[in-house]
Amino acid sequence: MQGLSWCNRQTLQNTTWEDVQRRVSAPVKAAIEKVMASLDGGVLSRDECLLLANSEGDDLFGTVIAANQIRHRLVGDVISYVVTRNINFTNVCFVGCKFCAFSVGPRDETAYFLSLEEMEHKCREAEEWGATEVCIQGGLPRNLPPFYYRDILRAVKSATPKMHAHAFSPMEMVYGVELTGMPIREYLLMLKENGLDTLPGTAAEILDDNVRHVLSRNKLTAAQWREVIETAHQCGIRSTSTMMYGHSESYEQWVNQMLLFREIQSCTGGFTEFVPLGFIHDNTLLFAQGLARDGGTLTEHLKVHALARIVLAGSINHIQVSWVKLGREISQLSLLAGADDYGGTLFEENISRLAGSTAGQYTSAAEFQERILDLGRVPAQRNTLYTQYTYPAAGSAGSSGEKTQVA
């Protein structure tokens, strides 16, 4: 695997920081031990974060092992997942993101737009399948009815009152504000009153406007993304945080984004998790035009999860792998490099698949459990907010034991 002789499950599972620290350079060792002493990545200076982001060889090995050990001390040995259904209500979009192979024009033969009745049906199906969450996002079609996002939420809650609605990216929030003319705070509160539970922290990509202009010149700005997220948190609407890597960004921009998320979290406490999202290049205009590399390397996959664990320690303590982008093997390695959450079952993932991902559209709870047990860790189905966990009965993948409330 790209010359990383230590990058296998057996080595990562059986190596401790005490085993590897003698091989690590003095500056990297000092930075890691500061975090291990406090379990708070906030003790690191920006320069120390950059040092870890640029680590290679034994320094990277040590960073990965340390991240896994910090993960164990912060959140234990549970690897969680959520049973969720993706609902992409339309693929029609005018934004034109160059990294997206999902969206089409309104006259494209593959264009679709789900009715509210169809969305109600999908929610009822999801509930029958045991889902506790629906994740709703879509393209941005022109002339969308001004209160359509509200109407979607009403349909979801009418069909499945107990379903958690994890819905609409900050880009969709900005579009909703444009359509209605409402201030962002009032718009978010209106959606909350109609059933919005949490917000996906997607549309972040890299929160640097120079990079964003290349990725999509029509996308919301970094400042707009931050405003939506901070306002949502202030309204009691929590969100995920994300970063897309493996295209045209730098390690310095990784650090900038993680430090920005720490800053927001210190003010709002609203992030539930951090999700690194590997760029899938195959069918994208961004790659075809020579504007991006062909996705993250194995080194980058391990590094981004390990770096997030260390830098965000004590701030955002759940680090999720995107199995649909990484596939089984690299997802498992990333879960040995500091991550603790497998994400969602999804049921019908479309966006990564159309960009060229081959990891599939669905992973069952039983399959998650098998993969987690294969790592010697503890599987648990969680709710969206990480406040309730269901543990499978011992030796019985797919069955559930007692529900446990956690803080």
In the chain, what are the domains? Answer: 78-251+263-295+316-384 (3.20.20.70)
Of these ranges, 3-17, 251-265, 337-351, the one predicted with the greatest mean pLDDT is 251-265
Tell me: the pLDDT tens digits for 118-173?
Answer: 999 999 999 999 999 999 999 999 999 999 999 999 999 999 999 999 999 999 99
Give the Cα separation of 275 and 351 in Å (integer): 16
Q: How high is the pLDDT of residue 363?
A: 84
Q: How high is the pLDDT of residue 149?
A: 98
Q: How high is the pLDDT of residue 100?
A: 84
Tell me: the pLDDT tens digits for 284-300?
Answer: 999 999 999 999 999 99
Is the Cβ–Cβ distance between 139 and 103 less than 8 Å?
yes
End-to-end, the C-alpha distance of the chain in Å comes to 39
Q: Output the six-digit token pair for 270.
A: 């609203």
**What SS3 state is found at 308?**
helix
